[in-house]
Structure 1
Amino acid sequence: LDVVVEPLAELLDVEVDCAHLLVKDGRLTGDLQSPPPAGEARGALLEEYAGRNGIALAESFAYADSLSDLPMLELVGTPVAVNPDARLSQVAGQRGWRVERWRMAPGNWRLPMPDPRSPEYLVRR
C-alpha cells in the first residue's frame, strides 16, 4: 500500500509501484483505488514494468504466497514461496523453488518477517 511503502522509497533509494488507497473528502477510505492485478494480469504487468525499466527478470526475485501468483513466479530467475498456500507449496516443491516460513514480528501480529539468522535466509550461489 502506498501509505506504507512510498515513505520508505527515498530511504531505500528504490522506485515504488504499489496499490493506492482511495481518498474521499481528504480521508483514506480503506478501499483500493483499483482492484489489484491477479494471475496472468500480474505476470503481464511485471513483464511490462521490467521491459520499461530494463530489468532482467532472469536475474530477479519474486515472493508470493498463493498459486494465483504462479504466472509472476514463473517469469523470474528466483521464485520464492513465502508461507505458501497448499497448492503453491506443492508446485514449489515439484519445481525445486525456495520455500520460506516467515514468523510474525514480535509486537506486530500482522507483519511477517524473515529470520536473517535462519540458514534458509542465506543467499545461495
Structure 2
Amino acid sequence: MIEAAGVPYTIVRATQFMEFIGDIADFGTDGGTVHIGDGLFQPIAADDVAAILAQVALAAPLNGTVDIAGPDRAPFAEIVTRYLKSVGDTRPVVTDRDARYYGGRVEEQSLVPLGDARIGRVSLDQWLAQAKKG
C-alpha cells in the first residue's frame, strides 16, 4: 500500500530488540525449561534502533526498506542462554525444532537480515553489562 500510494517513504525493518530476550525466554518456557527454535538470532539494542531511525527520518526518502540488526549473530538458544545467565536465571535452555516463536516456526534465517543491513553499535555483551547495572 505504501509503495502504491506514490508518497516518498523509507521503511525501517529491525530484528528483535535485546530488551525482549527475557520475554522470549518466558514465552518459550515449558515445565521449567526454555525451548527455543534452532534458527539464528541477531538482536539489536533499542538505543541503536532509535539512533538509526532518527538518521533515516532526517535523510531523503529511499522509496525502499532499510534492514537493521545488532552486531552479534549466533544461534537463538545461545543468545537466550547468555541472557539468562547474565540475570542469574538458572532455567535450562534447549534447542527445539518444534518450539514456536510467538506462534511461528523459526527457520534458520527467519530472525536475521538476509541482505545488506545497517548494524547497530551495541554488542550483546555491552547490553548485558549495562542491563545488569540498570
TM-score range for the pair, normalised by the shorter chain length: under 0.3
The two structures have a TM-score, normalised by structure 1, of 0.28
The two structures have a TM-score, normalised by structure 2, of 0.26
